[in-house]
Structure 1
Amino acid sequence: LLRLTASVVQRVARQALATFRCVEEAGRGFPEQQSKLRALLNEVRAADLRLVEPRAGAPQPPYPGGPPPVTYMHICETDEFSMGVFLLKRGASIPLHDHPGMYGMLKVMYGKTRITCFDRLDLSPLSGTPTGPSGSLRRSVLRSTGEYTEHSGPCVLAPHRDNLHRIDAVDGPTAFLDILAPPYDPDDGRDCHYYKVVPGEAGAPQGSEVWLMDISQPHDFWCGSEPYPGPAVGL
C-alpha cells in the first residue's frame, strides 16, 4: 500500500515535469500532456500525502505572534514547476493574487474551497489609467466562482485565463495540492501581486467587468510553513 501511495505522488511530479517542459519547447504536445496531468491529479487523495484534516479544538504548534491563517508544505521544485500543499484554517483566505506568465493546477485534498477567478483585460496599466488610494486600477472580468472538494476535478489556470484568483476556506479548514509552472521568481519577472475589487463592484455576477486595484500584501494574511509528511519525490 505504501509503495502504491508513493507512486501516485511521484507520477504526478514526473507528469508535471513532462507537461511543463512542453511549454519550453514551443508548446509541442502540451494539451495532451496537460490532460494527462489533470487525470493523475484526480487520483490524488489526502491519504496519498499523509494529510489528516485537523479536528476542531486540536492544539496548534507554537508560532511567534500567533498561528498563521495559511501554511505551506513544500514537496518539490524544479526550473519548470513547483509543487506543494496549502493548508487554510477555518475562515482563512488567500487574497486575490496573480501568477505572472504562469500555469497552475489546484486539487483539493480535504474540506471545501471556494475559488474566485478573474482575467485582466489590460495586461499593464496604460497612460491615463485611473488610480486608487493604493495603486493602479486594472480593468478585469470576473471569470468564475466555484466551490471545490476532494471529489472535484482540479482548478486550472493559464497565463491569460483564470490567472488571478482568491481562495477561501468554506465551513471549516481545507487543504489543496498546488502546482505552479514555472515557479514564482521575482528576479525573472514572476513576483506575486495582490489586488482587491474596487468597492461598489464586489458581488458582481459572473462575466461582469470590474476594476481591480493593486494593493500591498494584506496585513491580516501571511503564510507559514510546516513539514510535508508524505512520500518523498525524486526528479
Structure 2
Amino acid sequence: MGIEPGITANRGTEFDKTSADRGKASRKNRRRGRKMAAVQTLFRACKEVFADGGTGFIPRPNDVERLRSILDSLKQDDVGLSPELPYFGPIMHGNGRAPIITYLHLYECEKFSIGIFCLPPSGVLPLHNHPGMTVFSKLLFGTMHIKSYDWADGEPCTTVVSENAPRARLAKLTVNEDFVAPCNTSILYPAAGGNMHCFTAVTACAVLDVLGPPYSDPDGRHCTYYREHPFDRFSVDGISVLENERDGFAWLQEREKPRRLTVIGAPYRGPRIVDS
C-alpha cells in the first residue's frame, strides 16, 4: 500500500515549519546570549579592575585598555536601547524647561557603578566634576558635544567673582568637540583627562558611564556643578597666558545644581547583570 501524497506533504510541511521555528528560536537565543554576554562581560571586568579601588584609584594601564576594549565593542542592542524609545523623543520636553534626561541604573556597589544617560535632542548634563574618580564614557548612539576641563597646572589660582560668592578657579580646556557614534570610549581620571565635563545632545543620544568609585557624599565624592567665565573676564596678578592660548582657559565657579536640570530614573530593561 502506498503512502498517501497528502499525508507525506503535510508531514513534510510540518517538519519544515518546526525546523524553521527552531532555527529562529536558536538565532534569537544566540542574540540574547550575546547581549547577556556583553553586559555581563563588562560587569565582571569592572568587578576585577576596581576590586582594590577607592577615592583616587587609577586602574593599571592594561586594565584601562581591557575596559576600553569591552566598551568600544558595546552596542545599543547589547543594553536593549534604540532611538525610538520614549526617553529620546520630544515628549520628554517639559513646558518651557530643559529636556528631561533619563537615567537607567544597571549596577552599583561601593567600588564602581554602571548606568546609562538617555538624552533627547538639546538635553544637557551641565558642567560637573568627578572627585577622586576614574570614569569611562561610551556613546552608544547619536551625536554629543563634550566640553571638559582639568584644573590648571601649579598652585590653585583663584579670583573673586563677586562679594559673598564662591571664588573662581582657573581651569584648562581639554576637549571641546562633537562625538558621533560609533566612536572610541572617553576616559577621565581624578586629575587628568577632563575630570570636569559637560554633555550636550546634538541629536538624541545615549551614553553608558562606568564610575570607579561612584559618587558618595560620606566619602567626600560629592558632585559639584560649575559656572564658566571667560579667561579675559578677570585680571589676576601673576597669571600670564599668551593671547592666542586664552580660549584654552576659563574660570570655573562652584554653583548649586542648575534648576533647569531634571534627571529622572527609569527601569533598565536590557539584559540583566548577574552578581555571583
TM-score (norm 2): 0.74
Distance 1:124 1:194 in 2: 21
Distance 1:19 1:234 in 2: 17
Shift of 1:208: 1.9
Q: Which residue of 1 aligns with 2:113?
A: 82
Higher strand proportion, which one?
1
C-alpha root-mean-square deviation of aligned residues, in Å? 3.1
Q: 1:111 is aligned with what amino acid?
A: G
Shift of 1:105: 0.6
Q: 1:28 to 1:81 in 2, by over 3 A?
A: closer
Q: 2:129 is aligned with what amino acid?
A: D
Q: Which residue of 2 aligns with 1:148?
A: 179
Distance 2:103 2:217 in 1: 19
How many corresponding residue pairs? 230
Q: Which has the higher contact order (CA 8 A, sep 6+)?
A: 1
Shift of 1:19: 1.5
Determine if the alignment matches structure 1 residue 166 to structure 2 residue 198. Answer: yes
CA contact (8 A) 1:69 1:92 kept: yes
Shift of 1:21: 2.3
Q: Which residue of 1 aligns with 2:64?
A: 34
Larger Rg: 2
CA contact (8 A) 2:97 2:260 kept: no
Structure 2 unpaired stretches of 5+: 1-30, 234-243
Shift of 1:123: 9.3
Q: Which residue of 1 aligns with 2:50?
A: 20
Structure 1 unpaired stretches of 5+: none
TM-score (norm 1): 0.86
CA contact (8 A) 2:156 2:170 kept: no
Shift of 1:62: 11
Show the 5 A alignment for 1:121-160.
Answer: 121=152, 129-133=158-162, 134-160=165-191
Distance 2:182 2:64 in 1: 19
Q: 2:78 is aligned with what amino acid?
A: D
> Which shows bigger deviation, 70-79 or 49-58?
49-58
Deviations 1:52-75 (A, max 9, x none): 103799584799x98952110000
Higher helix proportion, which one?
2
Deviations 1:136-167 (A, max 9, x none): 21111001123223310111000001100010
Shift of 1:100: 0.3
Q: 2:269 is aligned with what amino acid?
A: P
Distance 1:194 1:59 in 2: 26
Distance 2:191 2:247 in 1: 15
Distance 1:107 1:124 in 2: 33
Distance 2:262 2:155 in 1: 26
Give aligned-pair identity as a percent: 28
CA contact (8 A) 2:89 2:120 kept: no
Equivalent position SS for 1:184:
coil
Distance 1:193 1:45 in 2: 30
> Which shows bigger deviation, 48-57 or 101-110?
48-57
